[in-house]
Structures are given as C-alpha cells and as structure tokens.
Amino acid sequence: KAGVTQTPRYLIKTRGQQVTLSCSPISGHRSVSWYQQTPGQGLQFLFEYFSETQRNKGNFPGRFSGRQFSNSRSEMNVSTLELGDSALYLCASSPGLAGSRSEQFFGPGTRLTVL
Amino acid sequence: GQQLNQSPQSMFIQEGEDVSMNCTSSSIFNTWLWYKQDPGEGPVLLIALYKAGELTSNGRLTAQFGITRKDSFLNISASIPSDVGIYFCAGRMNYGGATNKLIFGTGTLLAVQP
C-alpha cells in the first residue's frame, strides 16, 4: 500500500500570499489530520476531518482552513501568509477515528517558507 | 500551543548503550504514543499504549503507560546507529466523541556514536 502523500514537498511564498497544500491518505483511510511543526512550537494540531466533516480544530487563526473531499483527499489553505507561518506541515491519515484504535500514519510533510 | 514535557531534550550515547526517555503531562490521557522522526520525514509510529500500567515492546523498544495516566516512558536497549533521530511522545484524550487529535511532546534528540 502506498503511504500518505503530500504535495508539494517544498514551497516558497511571500507575505500576504495564500497557499494550498494537498494530502492524499492511504487507500481506505477516511480520517485525515493536519499538524504544523516549527522549532519554537513543536508539533501543533491544526484540524482533523472524517467523512468530509471537520471533527476537531486546533487553536489557529481563521486564516488556516481545510476541507476533505469524497475520496478522502484533503487540502489545507493558509491565506494572508505571515513570516511565522513558515513551518513543516504534516498530514496524517487513519482508517477511522480513535475509538477503533486505528492509529495515524504521517506523510513526509510540505516545507513552507514565507519570505 | 500545548506541548507535553519530554526529557531529556537530547542524548549523545555510544553504540550498544541503553536509552531512557520520558514524557509528563498535567492532563490525563487515555492513549500514549511514541514516534520517531528522521530529518526531512514525517513521524513514524513506534509503539501505541492504551491502558494505564500497560508495558509494550517492539523489538528493542519498550514503552510504558504510567499508572497516573499522566506520563509515559520509552526505553531503547542496545542502541545502534540507525536509532539516531528525534523521538516524540504524544497523548490523546477522548471525551465524548472520538478524535485522533494528538498533543505532542517537545522531543528528544538521540545521537548514537558508533
């Protein structure tokens, strides 16, 4: 089975622009979560989706948004980019929600640099 | 953002030595996980723990779910060079609806000298 794929792997943007990151979960997985990783804040939960519905959201401003499609693929969008948004954005997929003890598998991440 | 307290922050050891690291929280979790992250990659799940007091092994790795539900430990025996990386603990709590949301530790950087 192919793992979680994220595109693009690297991205450079300037302040004020917006960006869309894509995540394709492992085949058959219906839950997708997003995390932001920075040297200062570590790994922080952004949001999670299950069956096209946002189930949980982290403590991030409204500039961060996401969605999930019927094929379980997910995108996240960051508008009006700030320098502090530079980070590794990680996507994780799992077959279902935690009640079934189905753990998450992470993709390689998208490295976003904001200049 | 919320992070769990993980120690030590870094370790520099000789090949063959045993390693111990731990993670503590002010909150109770009902699941503890341990991940390893290599440079340029996403975290890889090493061990999952679901019950207070549970002790689980995965090869040379052994992890325990603390009985208070507020801590967890990871031990690596007979370290080898490929153990190099950053190790993260992660906790999950489910109140009401199920969620996959993880709270991560601050990470332990492990360096192994051959």
pLDDT number for residue B99: 80
Q: How far apart are the C-alpha atoms of B36 and B64, rounded to whole Å?
A: 16
Is pLDDT above 70 for A101?
no
Confidence of residue A95 (pLDDT cuts 50, 70, 90): confident
Other residues' Cβ atoms within 10 Å of the Cβ of residue A47 = 22
Average pLDDT over residues B82-108: 89
For residue A45, the distance in angstroms to the closest alpha carbon of chain B comes to: 7
Is pLDDT above 70 for B102?
yes
Name chain B contacts of A48, Cβ cutoff 8 Å.
99-101
Q: Which amino acid belongs to residue A11?
A: L
Q: Which amino acid belongs to residue B111?
A: A
Would you say B32 and B88 are in contact if contact means Cβ atoms under 8 Å apart? no
Would you say B31 and B92 are in contact if contact means Cβ atoms under 8 Å apart? yes
Confidence of residue A19 (pLDDT cuts 50, 70, 90): very high
For residue B30, the distance in angstroms to the closest alpha carbon of chain A comes to: 10
Would you say B88 and B105 are in contact if contact means Cβ atoms under 8 Å apart? yes
Is pLDDT above 70 for A49?
yes
Would you say A37 and A106 are in contact if contact means Cβ atoms under 8 Å apart? no
pLDDT number for residue B98: 74
Q: Which residue among A41, A45, A108 sits closest to B101, beta carbon to beta carbon?
A: A45
Is pLDDT above 70 for B35?
yes
Give CA torsion, residues B80, B87, A10, A37, to 10 deg. -170
For residue A15, the distance in angstroms to the closest alpha carbon of chain B comes to: 23
Name chain A contacts of B100, Cβ cutoff 8 Å.
31, 33, 48, 56, 92, 94, 97-98, 104
Confidence of residue A98 (pLDDT cuts 50, 70, 90): low
Average pLDDT over residues A107-111: 97
Tens-digit pLDDT profile for residues A73-94: 999 999 999 999 999 999 999 9
Mean pLDDT across chain A: 94
pLDDT number for residue A100: 55
DSSP structure string for A1-34 = ----EEE-SEEEE-TT--EEEEEEPPTT--EEEE
CB-neighbour burial class of residue A28 (10 A; exposed 0-12, middle 13-18, buried 19+): exposed
Is pLDDT above 80 for B64?
yes
- Listed in sequence order, the residues at least 6 apart from A40 whose beta carbon sits closer than 8 Å to its beta carbon are none
**Which residues of chain B approach chain A closer than 8 Å at the C-beta?**
1-3, 31, 33, 35, 40-45, 48, 50, 88, 90, 92, 94, 97-107
The answer to whether residue A90 neighbours chain B at the CB level (below 8 Å) is yes
